[in-house]
Amino acid sequence: MKTNAKILVWVLLTVVLVFTSATGIISWNFRKMARANAEKLAMSIAQQSALSIKADLATDMEVTRTIANTFQNFNEIPENLRDSIYDHILLEQLRSNPMYLSVWTSWELSAIDPNWTKNFGRKKIEVYLKSGIPEIKKDSANLTGDLIGSPYYQAKITGTQAFTPPYYYSYNNGEQSDILMASVATPIMYKNKFVGLVG
């Protein structure tokens, strides 16, 4: 091979090596920058979503706190009017908050029934939409004792607002599949004593 050809081969190899190295470095830096930008964007979106969720939960907590404050003076309402008034309040809250699946309350039986002398047992009232029509479901629970460790029991012993862990529930008695949901709950207190829970 002639000297000119050897020089040309070395120059071409050098150019190819420099070009490949430069392309690799630029590509690596670009990928690094793209990843950093993607992480910043993801973090920004996550923070915005977190703030939005926090605001929604704060609003939901305020709604339940307002209902609980309204219900805390239950003894001032004649017993024969109490259910219809509270049902109406729950219905209006459901209508005013279309993002809710239901609005509910549980009352300690000892607070609303003078003949119930046990420190457990509760009356549940759930207001929900069935095919777009408001329904009210009333039931009793914990008649043989409190369910230790349940969200209701935790609220009962602590007297604090809480979020329930996600749970499956059906408002239509099995007509549709269960719905995965969670509740925001506020205790109803009367003279510093737990008398129920609203969510």
Confidence at residue 187, expressed as pLDDT on a 0 to 100 scale: 97
Instruction: Determine the Cα–Cα distance for residues 66 and 143; give it in Å rounded to an integer.
Output: 28
Position 180 confidence tier, pLDDT thresholds 50, 70, 90: confident
Instruction: Look up residue 108 and give its amino acid.
Output: E
Instruction: Determine the Cα–Cα distance for residues 13 and 32; give it in Å rounded to an integer.
Output: 28
Confidence at residue 175, expressed as pLDDT on a 0 to 100 scale: 58
| End-to-end C-alpha distance for the chain, whole angstroms | 89
Torsion of CA 42, 166, 56, 141, to 10 degrees: 180
Q: Where exactly are the structural domains of the chain?
A: 58-198
Confidence at residue 185, expressed as pLDDT on a 0 to 100 scale: 95
Confidence at residue 196, expressed as pLDDT on a 0 to 100 scale: 96
What are the tens digits of pLDDT across the range 98-115? 889 899 999 999 999 999
Of residues 104, 123, 103, 105, the one with CA closest to residue 113: 123
CA quadruple 111, 112, 117, 122: dihedral sign:
negative
Residues 6 or more apart whose Cβ sits within 8 Å of residue 193: 111
Residue 158 CA neighbour count, 13 Å, CB half: 13
Residue of higher predicted confidence among 122 and 5: 122
Confidence at residue 10, expressed as pLDDT on a 0 to 100 scale: 86
What are the tens digits of pLDDT across the range 18-70? 888 888 888 898 899 999 999 999 999 999 999 999 999 999 999 999 999 99
Counting residues of the chain whose pLDDT is more than 70, the rounded percentage is 96
Angle, vertex CA 146, rays to CA 119 and CA 66, nearest 5: 80
Instruction: Determine the Cα–Cα distance for residues 152 and 187; give it in Å rounded to an integer.
Output: 9
Q: For residue 11, is pLDDT > 70?
A: yes
Q: For residue 174, is pLDDT > 60?
A: no
Q: State the greatest distance between any 2 C-alpha atoms of the chain, in Å, as a whole number.
A: 115
Confidence at residue 158, expressed as pLDDT on a 0 to 100 scale: 94
Q: Which CATH architecture has domain 58-198?
A: 2-Layer Sandwich (3.30)
What are the tens digits of pLDDT across the range 183-198? 999 999 999 999 999 9
